[in-house]
């Protein structure tokens, strides 16, 4: 029982932290704010994301990455024009899924219960 509670608490912590981080970065705003957040996140290097205590030296003598991690990718203009519509489609899908949860969860729970009853 305690392990189950600990697992659930850890999962909620990860989800809560993710939602907090994405909200803080501006991912849940309008499409312009999301595009700005995307540019900010894309411009950061791996060294800026990781704390100083993380050692990034490979444990083997082989190179793990062929290009330096600080190299930035070039812009792709074809994707930029599609971002607002893709963002809106993603938001619509998320909220439709959330709206359908009251009908979906009981059906899925019943199918799981039926599956385990048929095992025994």
Query: What does the DSSP assignment read for 28-87?
Result: TS-HHHHHHHHHHHHH--HHHHS-TTS----SSSS-S-SS-TTPPPPP-HHHHTTHHHHH
Q: What is the pTM of this model?
A: 0.35
pLDDT tens digits for range 58-93: 555 455 555 555 666 666 666 667 778 888 889 999
Of all helices (H) and strands (E), which one includes residue 90?
A: helix 83-119
Q: What is the DSSP letter of 1?
A: -
Residues of the chain with pLDDT under 50: 61
């Amino acid at each position: 029982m305690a392990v189950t509670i600990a697992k659930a608490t850890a999962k909620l912590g990860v989800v809560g932290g993710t939602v907090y981080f994405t909200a803080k970065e501006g991912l849940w705003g309008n499409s312009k704010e999301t595009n700005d957040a995307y540019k900010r996140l894309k411009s950061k290097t791996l060294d800026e994301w990781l704390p100083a205590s993380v050692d990034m030296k490979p444990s083997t003598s082989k190179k793990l990455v062929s290009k330096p991690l600080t190299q930035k990718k070039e812009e792709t203009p074809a994707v930029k024009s599609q971002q607002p519509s893709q963002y809106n489609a993603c938001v619509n899908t998320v909220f439709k899924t959330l709206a359908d949860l009251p009908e979906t969860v009981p059906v899925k729970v019943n199918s799981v219960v039926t599956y385990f009853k048929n095992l025994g």
